[in-house]
A and B are shown apart, each in its own frame.
Chain A
Amino acid sequence: MCGIVGLFLKDQSLAPQLGHMLTEMLITMTDRGPDSAGIAIYGDEVEGHVKLTLQSSGPETDFTALDAELGATLGTHVTQRVIDTHAVLHIPSDQFDAAQKALAEMRPGVRVMSRGDTLEIYKEVGLPRDVAARFDLSRMSGTHGIGHTRMATESAVTTMGAHPFNTGSDQCLVHNGSLSNHNALRRKLRREGVTIQTENDTEVGAAYLTWKMMQGATLGEALQSGLDDLDGFFTFVVGTKDGFGVLRDPIACKPAVMAETDQYVAFGSEYRALVNLPGIDIARVWEPEPATVYFWSHADGQTIHDKAA
């Protein structure tokens, strides 16, 4: 069991409250996943810069003066914001690859949570309420976000086993369920040169989608082929820079409820997670169909819902 929440804003006047609404939803799902919690939030973009969200078990040592040190090595200006065990670095886009290499040598113990223009991922072990408080999630603003509460079944309770998983630039995945062919698929993806760091099943799902997209598939196509290649139970919620998608396996025993109004599209593992959203009483509430890709996007200033992307 795990809990998933997601909120995609159509009405950007709600953006300052996104963190608050998602945090409430996340805490409601504590019963479904008290082990760990995480959130992916799509916030501000700094022109010409990439955001790198890092995590360290020793943030005092690892993050002190990291921006100055990295800037000096790259011969550029790097800014950073430290939030508890995480730090968000803004790196000039053309220096990004060099920065990743330099970081791996400079701070080998630091883990990359996410990279992208707007995406930041925060996740830790602990009760959702405590994790949310550590990162002050309720004060974050953004266009859309996805949260996850974990009850581990397939691998250890660790920060790296927590969701969301970053699947590519500005892309993330959360999962409720368990994949049963993840060992074979992990071996296959590693042979293809894909880096997979843990024994976690969802990380393999995330790596699979990344690999498909590296080969030229769109996110919708990657999800569609996941229906054939991923064996097991899953309700996936994915985030991209512009959008938000949902896919359930054909058996669809992992719960999912969605709600849509003029202001937002929301996802919850249970209806309980949605009850305090504005206008929920007049929202269209429904259960997403099995084996069907749903996707909403801000692209072209319009909200698109593509049921079979």
Chain B
Amino acid sequence: MQTYDLEADGLRGLNAALHAQTNQTRWEIINPKGSHAIAVGLDAPIDVTVKGSTGYYCAGMNQQATVRVEGSVGPGVAENMMSGEVIVEGDASQYAGATGHGGLLVIKGNASSRCGISMKGIDIVVHGNIGHMSAFMAQAGTLVVCGDAGDALGDSLYEARLFVRGSVKSLGADCVEKEMRPEHLALLETLLERAGADAKAEEFTRYGSARKLYNFDVDTSAAY
């Protein structure tokens, strides 16, 4: 285990040191104090623990690495993640996991607005609630919400799968409730287990795209 004091030694030094890793090493970052861009652009199977809360874009563009934050994160955590895992013990601010292509993002508290916006294959599990406009234009991947979802969930959704256990304040354009089939239950069980979420797959409702916005249709023109 190597310890890096962010306040004493600076952000550029941290990210350069993490980028230089090729083997399975373990890192602990102390004194993050809400700094931006902590552990971004990693591309090695390393294990990083941030001891405290972070600012914008923590663990952005992650590949292979596991990044755990023992605190809350600012906007854009794990933005455009490709693979690996990012686990947030606290809350996440807006657009968590935005445009993510792969990997698993776990938020053990709540996530605010635009969680999973334009997600392209990432899996996101939120133990708490999510804010408005989440999974807006989501293209692929899975968003699991153990609590409630805010307004306009899944607006202009493509092929991403959404599972919500609690209430949904409102659904966005072209997002509809869908039948839960055995393959969905199996997927959900796997993700809940990987995310350490204490919830049963049967308690969730599935939402997805009605696919009415894919092609122009004069009868649904009001929704464009």
Using a CB–CB distance below 8 Å, which chain A residues touch chain B? 250, 252-253, 255, 257, 270-275, 285-287, 290
Would you call B139 an interface residue if the criterion is a C-beta within 8 Å of the partner chain's C-beta atoms? no
Q: A285-B72, A287-B91 are in contact. List 16 more A-B contacts (CB 8 A).
A: A252-B94, A252-B132, A255-B75, A255-B93, A257-B74, A270-B55, A271-B53, A271-B72, A272-B33, A273-B34, A275-B33, A285-B53, A285-B91, A286-B91, A287-B112, A290-B131
Report how far A253 CA is from B133 CA in the complex, Å: 11
Q: Which of B34, B112, B131, B132 contacts A270 (CB 8 A)?
A: B34
Name 6 interchain pairs, CB-CB below 8 A, sorted by A.
A252-B112, A257-B93, A270-B55, A272-B55, A273-B34, A286-B91
Query: For the complex, would chain B's binding face be called helix, strand, loop or mixed by DSSP majority?
Result: loop
Contact B34 A275, beta carbon cutoff 8 Å? yes
Contact B34 A271, beta carbon cutoff 8 Å? yes
Please name all residues of chain A whose beta carbon is closer than 8 Å to the beta carbon of B93 when the two chains form the complex.
Answer: 255, 257, 287
Would you call B113 an interface residue if the criterion is a C-beta within 8 Å of the partner chain's C-beta atoms? yes
Interface residues of B in 88-137 (CB under 8 A from A): 91, 93-94, 112-113, 131-132
Counting from the closest, the 3 A-B pairs by CB-CB distance are: A271-B34, A272-B34, A275-B33
Min CB distance, B126 to chain A, in Å? 14
Would you call B35 an interface residue if the criterion is a C-beta within 8 Å of the partner chain's C-beta atoms? yes
Min CB distance, A30 to chain B, in Å? 14
Q: A253-B94, A286-B91, A287-B91 are in contact. Are A271 and B55 (CB under 8 A)?
A: yes
Q: Which of A250, A273, A274, A290 has the most CB of B within 10 A?
A: A290
Report how far A285 CA is from B94 CA in the complex, Å: 15
B: interface residue count bin: 10 to 19
Contact A290 B132, beta carbon cutoff 8 Å? yes
Min CB distance, A303 to chain B, in Å? 24
Contact A271 B74, beta carbon cutoff 8 Å? yes
Report how far A273 CA is from B53 CA in the complex, Å: 12
Report how far A187 CA is from B55 CA in the complex, Å: 40
Contact B34 A274, beta carbon cutoff 8 Å? yes
Q: A272-B34, A272-B35, A287-B112 are in contact. Are A255 and B91 (CB under 8 A)?
A: no
Report how far A286 CA is from B94 CA in the complex, Å: 12
Which residue of the partner chain B has the closest CB to A256?
B93
Please name all residues of chain B whose beta carbon is closer than 8 Å to the beta carbon of A270 when the two chains form the complex.
Answer: 34, 55-56, 74
Which residue of the partner chain B has the closest CB to A28?
B34
Report how far A253 CA is from B55 CA in the complex, Å: 15
Q: A271-B53, A285-B72 are in contact. Are A252 and B113 (CB under 8 A)?
A: yes
Which residue of the partner chain A has the closest CB to B56?
A270
Report how far A255 CA is from B53 CA in the complex, Å: 16
